[in-house]
Amino acid sequence: MKRLIASILAAAAILSIAGCSPKGESGSSGSSGSQSGEDSGPSGELVVATWAGTYQELLQEYLEPVLAETAPNVTVVYATGNDTDHIAKALAEKDGVGTYDVMMIGQLDMPKMTNNDLVMKLDPEKIPNLQHVSPEYQDDYFVPQISSGGVLAYNENYVETPDSWGVFWDEQYKGKIGILETSRMFSLYMSALMLGPDVPYGGDWNEGWDGLMDMKENMDIKVYATNEQLGNAMATGEIWITFGWRARAASWDTEEGEPIGNVVPKEGTYPYLSGACIFKNANNPEAAHAFMNALLDPRVQMAFAEHMGYAPTVDNCQLPQELNDTIGFTQDELERTKPVDAEYIYENDGVWLEKWNKEFIAQ
C-alpha cells in the first residue's frame, strides 16, 4: 500500500457532521430493488473471508438487504476466521482457483496483500459510493469501511482513571488484566512505546519484547480468543483492564454490566481503519464490487456505528451527537494519535507472529 493514512480519526470526525442520506449510490443504473430483463446484475455465490461474531451478524442483518437492492441474485457465504489464516490460505491458492472473493481486513495488513500480488485494483465505476469516501482514505486496492483508535479500557469500580499504559505492569492489577489472543501488534507497540516515543516511530519494535515477557511472567495475564469473550470478561468483572479499539470499549459499557471507561494514555496510540479488498483470483468479481459498494452505503455505516461503535468513513452519514461523543476522539486525544508504518509491520510481522505464538501465547 503506497499511501499511509495520515489522519484517520480526524477525517472521521469531519465525516460525521456531513449528513446521512437514506440510501447510498446503488450503481450506474441508478435503480434499486430486483432488476429484470437481461441486465439482472451480478449473480451466484460470493465468498467473504471475515471475522465471526457481531461483525458477521451485522453484515448479514444490515449489508445483505442493501446488497439485494442491486444484486438480488447474489448469495453471500461467510468464511469466518482470523486474518492470519485467511491470508495464509490465499497465498497457498495464489496461482490457482481461489476460495475467497472478498476479504475483510485491517488497513495495516494490506501490504501483505498488495506486496504479494493477491488483490485486484478496484473499478471505481462499479463502486459509486466511493465518491463519498474522504480523500485521505482513498486507495486503489482497499475499500475503507470503519474507523476507530486504540484505547486503554478499565473497570471504573476498581481502577482509578489511568493515564499510562504502565498499568499493564502494575502489580496491584495482577490477575485482572486481559488481552486478545491475536493482539500481538498492539501489545508490542504498547511495550515499545513505554521505552520512549521514538521506539515505535522509526525505532525497533523488537525492543518491546522484554517488556511483554515481563508482563506475561509477573502479571498473570488472561488471554481470550475473541473480542466477544474479552468484552464479556470486562462486563462481568472477571478482568478490570485491557486494550482495544474505542469502538469495542464503548460497546462493553452497558447498563447491565460493570461500568467500563476508556482513555488514550499520555504515551499515545495509533488509529485503526478496517475495510475490504477483492482477490485477483476471485470467482465472482462483479458481485464483489457490488458488495464493496454496499459496505459504503450510509445505512450500513450507521449500523456499524450504532451496534459496534465504529465511526463512518463516508461523508453522507451523520452520527447522532451522543453517539459521536461516545465513539469519537477529542482534539487532545487526536494529537496523541499517530499512524504507524504499515510497510515496517509487513516486513516484521512474520517473525513477530512466530515469537508471539511460541513465547507469549504458549503456556
What distance in Å separates the CA atoms of residue 35 and residue 32, rounded to the nearest whole number? Answer: 8
For residue range 230-261, what is the model confidence (pLDDT) as tens digits? Answer: 999 999 999 999 999 999 999 898 878 899 99
Domain-embedded: residue 111: yes
Same domain, 89 and 238: no
Same domain, 122 and 24: yes
Structural domain of residue 313, as residue ranges? 8-147+272-335
Domain-embedded: residue 29: yes
Same domain, 266 and 276: no
pLDDT band at 363 (very low <50, low <70, confident <90, very high): low
pLDDT value of position 26: 53
Domain-embedded: residue 38: yes
The three three-digit cell numbers of residue 159, written as one number: 481502577
Q: What is the CATH number of the domain that holds 77?
A: 3.40.190.10
pLDDT band at 362 (very low <50, low <70, confident <90, very high): confident
pLDDT higher at 3 or 93? 93
How many domains does the chain divide into?
2
Same domain, 24 and 132: yes
Same domain, 186 and 220: yes
3-class DSSP state for residue 9?
A: helix
Tell me the average pLDDT across 163-190: 97
What distance in Å separates the CA atoms of residue 153 and residue 254, rounded to the nearest whole number? Answer: 14
pLDDT over 90 for what percent of the chain? 82
3-class DSSP state for residue 263?
A: strand
**pTM of the entire structure?**
0.80
Q: Is-contact 176 242, C-beta < 8 A?
A: no
The three three-digit cell numbers of residue 286, written as one number: 462483479
For residue range 191-216, what is the model confidence (pLDDT) as tens digits? Answer: 999 999 999 999 999 999 999 999 99
Same domain, 94 and 240: no
Q: What is the largest CA-CA distance in the chain?
A: 69
The three three-digit cell numbers of residue 52, written as one number: 465471526
Same domain, 250 and 307: no
Q: Is-contact 160 172, C-beta < 8 A?
A: no
List, in order, residues 6 or more apart from 221 with CB less than 8 Å away.
177, 178, 179, 215
Q: 67 burial class (0-12, 13-18, 19+ CB within 10 angstroms)?
A: buried
Among 8-22, 130-144, 147-161, 265-279, the least confident range: 8-22
Same domain, 255 and 282: no
For residue 7, the Cα-to-chain-centroid distance in whole angstroms is 15
What distance in Å separates the CA atoms of residue 30 and residue 129, rounded to the nearest whole number? Answer: 12
Cα dihedral across residues 137, 142, 147, 149: positive or negative = negative
pLDDT value of position 313: 94
Position 36 pLDDT exceeds 50: no
Domain-embedded: residue 3: no
For residue range 4-26, what is the model confidence (pLDDT) as tens digits? Answer: 333 444 444 444 444 554 455 55
Place of cell 513505554: 194
